[in-house]
Amino acid sequence: MLADQFDAFLLDLDGVVHVGPDPLPGAVDALARLRHRGKILRFLTNDPRPTRAEVADRLTAMGVQAELGEIVTAGWATAVHLQRRGAARVYVVGSSGLAEELRAAGLQLLEHGDPHAVVVGCDEAVGYPHLRRAATLIRRGAQFIATNPDPTFPTRQGPWPATGAITAAVSIASGVRPLVIGKPAPAMFHAALAGLAPGVRAAMVGDTLDTDVLGAHQAGLTAILIAEEPPAALSSRDPRAPDATIADLSRLFDPAQPLRSPPPPTFPWPQEIRPGVAAVVFDAAGRVLLVRRADNGLWGLPSGHVEPGETVAHAAEREVLEETGLRVRVSRLVGIYSEPASQVVTYPDGRVCHFITASFACAVVGGGLRPDGVEALAADFFPTDQLPTDLLRMHPQWLTDALHGHTGTFR
Ligand SMILES: [Mg+2]
Cβ-based neighbours of 38, under 8 Å, separated by 6 or more: none
The per-residue pLDDT for 296 is: 84
Residue 295: active-site member: no
Strands in 121-195 per DSSP E: 143-146, 152-153, 160-161, 179-180
Active-site residue identified among 4, 7, 12, 47? 12
Q: Is the pLDDT of residue 409 over 70?
A: no
Tell me: cis bond preceding 184? Omega within 30 of 0 counts. Answer: yes
Cα 212 to ligand 1 centre (Å): 8
CATH number of 272-410: 3.90.79.10
Number of Cβ within a 10 Å radius of residue 37: 11
Distance 125 CA to ligand 1 centre (A): 24
Q: What spacing in Å lies between the alpha carbon of 45 and ligand 1's midpoint?
A: 8
pLDDT band at 408 (very low <50, low <70, confident <90, very high): low
What average pLDDT score do residues 17-23 get?
89
Q: 3-state DSSP helix/strand/coil percent for the chain, to nearest 5?
A: 30, 30, 45
pLDDT grade for 43, boundaries at 50, 70 and 90: very high
With vertex at residue 146, the alpha carbon angle to CA 145 and CA 151, rounded to the nearest 5 degrees, is 160
Among the four given CATH numbers 3.40.50.300, 1.10.10.10, 3.40.50.1000, 3.10.180.10, the one describing domain 76-180: 3.40.50.1000
Three-state DSSP state, 48: coil
* Residue 33 predicted with pLDDT over 90: yes
- N-term to C-term CA, the chain: 38
The count of other CB atoms within 10 Å of the CB of residue 247 is 14
> What's the confidence (pLDDT) of residue 410?
62
Q: Is the pLDDT of residue 232 over 90?
A: no
What separation in Å is there between the alpha carbon of 209 and the centre of ligand 1? 9
pTM for this predicted structure:
0.79
Segments of the chain assigned to CATH 3.40.50.1000: 2-46+184-253, 76-180
Q: For residue 314, what are the CA distances in angstroms to 171, 323, 331?
A: 33, 14, 12
- Let me know: does 62 contact 22? Beta carbons within 8 Å: yes
Task: For residue 254, report the distance from its CA to the centre of ligand 1, in Å.
Answer: 22
Average pLDDT over residues 362-389: 91
85 Cα–ligand 1 center, Å = 29
Region label for 338, one of left (φ > 0), alpha (ψ between -120 and 50) or beta (otherwise): alpha
Examine the pLDDT at 406 and tell me if it is beyond 70. Answer: no
Q: According to the model, what pLDDT value does residue 394 have?
A: 85
Residue 371 has pLDDT above 80, yes or no: yes
Cis peptide preceding 198, ω within 30 of 0: no
Query: How far, in Å, from the CA of 208 to the mean position of ligand 1?
Result: 6
Average pLDDT over residues 97-101: 94
| Tens digit of each residue's pLDDT (9 = 90 or more) over 243-273 | 999 999 999 999 988 888 766 777 888 888 9
Q: What band does 227 get if pLDDT is binned at 50, 70 and 90?
A: very high
Q: Report which of residues 271 and 82 the model is more confident about.
A: 82
Beta bridge partners of 244: 224
Q: Give per-residue pLDDT as tens, 137-179.
A: 999 999 999 999 999 987 878 899 999 999 999 999 999 999 9
Burial class of residue 277 in the structure, from the number of CB atoms within 10 Å of its CB (0-12 exposed, 13-18 middle, 19+ buried) = buried
Question: Could you say which of 4, 7, 14, 254 is catalytic?
Answer: 14
**Confidence band of 56 (pLDDT split at 50, 70, 90):** very high
pLDDT value at residue 82: 95
Q: What pLDDT was estimated at residue 8?
A: 97
Residue 37 in this model has a pLDDT that exceeds 90: yes
Query: Catalytic: 238?
Result: no
Q: How many Å lie between the centroid of ligand 1 and the Cα of residue 387?
A: 51
Cα-only R_g, the chain: 26
Indicate the pLDDT class of residue 350, thresholds 50, 70 and 90: confident
**Whole-number average pLDDT of the chain:** 92
CATH 3.90.79.10 residue ranges for the chain: 272-410
Distance 10 CA to ligand 1 centre (A): 12
Query: What top-level class would CATH report for the domain 2-46+184-253?
Result: alpha beta
158 CA to centre of ligand 1 in angstroms: 16
Q: What is the pLDDT of residue 411?
A: 60
Q: What are phi and psi of 38, to 5 degrees?
A: 80, 15
Under 8 Å between Cβ of 95 and 123: yes
Residue 275's nearest CA partner among 327, 329, 321, 343 is 343
pLDDT over 90 percentage in the chain: 75
How far is the centre of ligand 1, averaged over its atoms, from the C-alpha of 93 (Å)?
Answer: 23
pLDDT score, position 204: 97
